[in-house]
Copies of this chain bind each other. A is one copy, B any other.
Amino acid sequence: MNEFDFIDRLRQRANSQKHSARVLTGIGDDSSIIAQRADRDLIVTTDLLVEGVDFLRGASPARLLGHKALAVSLSDIAAMGSRPFWSFLSIGMPRDEWTTNFKDEFFEGYFALADRFGVTLAGGDVSETKESIVIDSIVLGEVKSGAAVNRSTARAGDQIYVTGHLGGAAAGLKLIGNGARVRQESERGSSPTVREGVGTEPLAIANGLSLSDQSTSRSDDDSIQTLLLRQLRPSPRVGWGIILGEEHLATAMIDISDGLSSDLNHLCRESNVGSLIESSSIPLDDEVKRLCGRRALDPLALALHGGEDFELLFTVAPENVSRLPKRVDGVAISHIGAITEAPEVRIREQNRIWDLKPQGFEHFRD
């Protein structure tokens, strides 16, 4: 199969999606064509994922990588209070992966998530690389004109919320660093916590958040699988994003990709405000609490600085708090603090108040 045959096959797969009548031309031309609507704003995001930096080929099965590549961009669309519609994917891979199942499994994971949210793959590019896999994920969404939620529009007095739980993705990353690997049946989507009677593959776990200091119990193993999937198969909060935008509930929003401490600082800096959050209100991942409880690791530190949870961090005007749904798609929210006029970003832990410095992920620092 050559490059053009592969693109033809992708085109057939994308055409079978049939989600969007507004894609006038999809894969297979110099560019793609999408019909516009004057009553909606277009939302565009791009996310570059690089092997060895953003993922490890040996630790990220292709199917999960396909899922994650799309998920991180869907999260950015959700963080604008908008609905995803179309995606584009540029992928470069070394020649040796061209003849493996990599690309088929990658797109299996990609399309499974795309179909779930009605997103049409409308174009992209394929290239060779010398060594590393590299993926640029582009998603286009829409929102009623003027209804998109920026990160720069929080106001003093707004209440701060976060979806889901934090720290799981960072714990999963630590586990990967310690040699833990996702089991094939977890990868394929069956929940590790309900699966029974399946043989456990060996886990090479060395130190840190690890189980080498004791026998690995069955439920610890399930916790590890769950945390690996928090890192490798994040769930973008698409439903929450749409509701927070369409219902004009959020005054500002950002997704937690760099870490709560970094992303709250981003939001406050862009909004020219500060914030005070309560450490006891931060929703810690249950599996992280379980595994960390018996070790020297601090679940709160993972939740504050870990990143890649892809939960939504948003602010709500006091008069709109009562209009917030309790759950969307089964995901609850937590009230963690409030926006302040004073520009400091602070956290209260028991009776002390600290400055919450950004300690999330940065690619470069010099």
Instruction: Point out residues on A near B: beta carbons under 8 Å.
Output: 1-4, 6, 24-25, 28-54, 75-77, 79-80, 82, 86, 88-92, 95, 98-99, 122-132, 134, 136, 138, 140-142, 145, 148, 150-152, 253-255, 270, 362-366
Once bound together, how far apart are the Cα atoms of A127 and B46, in whole Å?
Answer: 11
By the criterion CB–CB under 8 Å, are A41 and B29 in contact? no
Once bound together, how far apart are the Cα atoms of A312 and B363, in whole Å?
Answer: 39
By the criterion CB–CB under 8 Å, are B76 and A30 in contact? yes
Copies per assembly: 2
User: Which residues does chain B contribute within 8 Å of A365, judged by CB atoms?
Assistant: 2-3
By the criterion CB–CB under 8 Å, are B50 and A136 in contact? no
User: Which residues does chain B contribute within 8 Å of A47, judged by CB atoms?
Assistant: 90, 125
By the criterion CB–CB under 8 Å, are A48 and B90 in contact? yes
Once bound together, how far apart are the Cα atoms of A130 and B130, in whole Å?
Answer: 12
By the criterion CB–CB under 8 Å, are A363 and B31 in contact? no
By the criterion CB–CB under 8 Å, are A4 and B362 in contact? yes
By the criterion CB–CB under 8 Å, are A366 and B129 in contact? no
Q: Closest approach, in angstroms, between the C-beta of A268 and any C-beta of chain B?
A: 14
Which chain B residue shows the least CB distance to A122? Answer: B44
Q: Closest approach, in angstroms, between the C-beta of A231 and any C-beta of chain B?
A: 17
Once bound together, how far apart are the Cα atoms of A98 and B53, in whole Å?
Answer: 15
Once bound together, how far apart are the Cα atoms of A134 and B49, in whole Å?
Answer: 11
Q: Closest approach, in angstroms, between the C-beta of A294 and any C-beta of chain B?
A: 34
Given contacts A25-B150, A98-B366, contact A125 B136 (CB under 8 A): yes
Q: Closest approach, in angstroms, between the C-beta of A308 and any C-beta of chain B?
A: 14
Once bound together, how far apart are the Cα atoms of A92 and B129, in whole Å?
Answer: 13
Given contacts A50-B134, A132-B131, A363-B127, contact A82 B31 (CB under 8 A): yes
Given contacts A50-B134, A127-B48, A363-B3, contact A33 B24 (CB under 8 A): no
User: Which residues does chain B contribute within 8 Å of A130, judged by CB atoms?
Assistant: 50-53, 131-132
Given contacts A48-B92, A90-B47, A98-B366, contact A29 B152 (CB under 8 A): yes
Given contacts A41-B24, A362-B4, A364-B95, contact A127 B31 (CB under 8 A): no
Q: 6 closest A-B pairs (Cβ-Cβ)?
A: A136-B136, A38-B38, A31-B45, A30-B79, A48-B90, A36-B36
Once bound together, how far apart are the Cα atoms of A303 and B35, in whole Å?
Answer: 36
User: Which residues does chain B contribute within 8 Å of A77, judged by CB atoms?
Assistant: 30-31
User: Which residues does chain B contribute within 8 Å of A145, judged by CB atoms?
Assistant: 35-36
Cβ contact of A34, chosen from B29, B41, B152, B366, cutoff 8 A: B41
Q: Closest approach, in angstroms, between the C-beta of A322 and any C-beta of chain B?
A: 27
Q: Closest approach, in angstroms, between the C-beta of A51 and any C-beta of chain B?
A: 8
Once bound together, how far apart are the Cα atoms of A209 and B129, in whole Å?
Answer: 27
By the criterion CB–CB under 8 Å, are B90 and A136 in contact? yes
By the criterion CB–CB under 8 Å, are A36 and B33 in contact? no
